[in-house]
Chain A
Amino acid sequence: NAGVTQTPKFQVLKTGQSMTLQCAQDMNHNSMYWYRQDPGMGLRLIYYSASEGTTDKGEVPNGYNVSRLNKREFSLRLESAAPSQTSVYFCASSEGGAAYEQYFGPGTRLTVT
């Protein structure tokens, strides 16, 4: 099993450009999550999907949209990138609910100039 995969690994955008970060998991997990991590900081939850067909806002949703395409895939879209969105983005998945651990992907390093 590949676990949680993310593409791309690195990306540089100009202010105002748009892009979609892709995440896929092969563990048949119900829940998926998007986090961002700024330098020297802990992870902050952007959006999550408790199950296929549902999405909810996390701590820092402004400037982002998400799509739970199917049970395996959960994408994060930046419609108009800003320098403040320069960060490392992590996707995670879990069975769902507090009793189950989350598994994290390797991250996407995004720079907005």
Chain B
Amino acid sequence: DAKTTQPPSMDCAEGRAANLPCNHSTISGNEYVYWYRQIHSQGPQYIIHGLKNNETNEMASLIITEDRKSSTLILPHATLRDTAVYYCIVRDDKIIFGKGTRLHILP
């Protein structure tokens, strides 16, 4: 079973920051938090991952709470191309996908 809980869907206005929450209250010390997205029926695309510290790359920022029981993916300036299903995954070795959050970017 997936170890994460995400809202099934969210809306965000184009140009605004999209903040996608994820709960992972049973995460253990050696498990990473990963985010992937899937556009239409393409293969999932890696976005970002982290263990304890907040992380930022060219696509997004990942904010992990101090107790590591939840995290937030931030897309700083959402565009229509960011419309996708976003998966938050807690990973030791294998990746177990949940149902994700369907993000709609509104023009």
Q: Which residues of A are at the interface with B, using a C-beta cutoff of 8 A?
A: 4, 33, 35, 37, 41-45, 48, 50, 58-59, 88, 90, 92, 97-99, 101-107, 109
Contacts and interface: CB of A to CB of B under 8 A. Distances in A.
Chain B contact surface mostly: loop
Contact of A107 (B30, B41, B45, B100): B41
Given A48-B94, A105-B43, A42 B34 contact: no
B68 interface: no
A106 B94 contact: no
Nearest to A50: B93
A97 B3 CA distance: 18
Contacts of B42: 106-107
Contacts of B98: 42
A103 B46 CA distance: 7
Contact of A98 (B30, B41, B43, B100): B30
B34 A101 contact: yes
Contacts of A92: 43-44, 95
Nearest to A97: B93
Nearest to B45: A104
Interface residues of B, number: 24
A45 B41 contact: no
B87 A42 contact: yes
A97 B32 CA distance: 10
A1 to B, nearest CB: 15
Residue from A35, A43, A50, A106 with most neighbouring chain B CB atoms (10 Å): A43
Interface in B22-45: 30-32, 34, 41-45
Nearest to A105: B43
Contact of B43 (A50, A101, A107): A107
B46 to A, nearest CB: 4
26 contacts: A33-B94, A33-B95, A35-B97, A37-B41, A42-B2, A42-B97, A42-B98, A42-B99, A43-B44, A44-B97, A45-B95, A48-B94, A58-B94, A59-B96, A92-B95, A97-B93, A98-B31, A98-B32, A98-B92, A99-B51, A102-B46, A102-B95, A103-B46, A106-B42, A106-B43, A107-B43
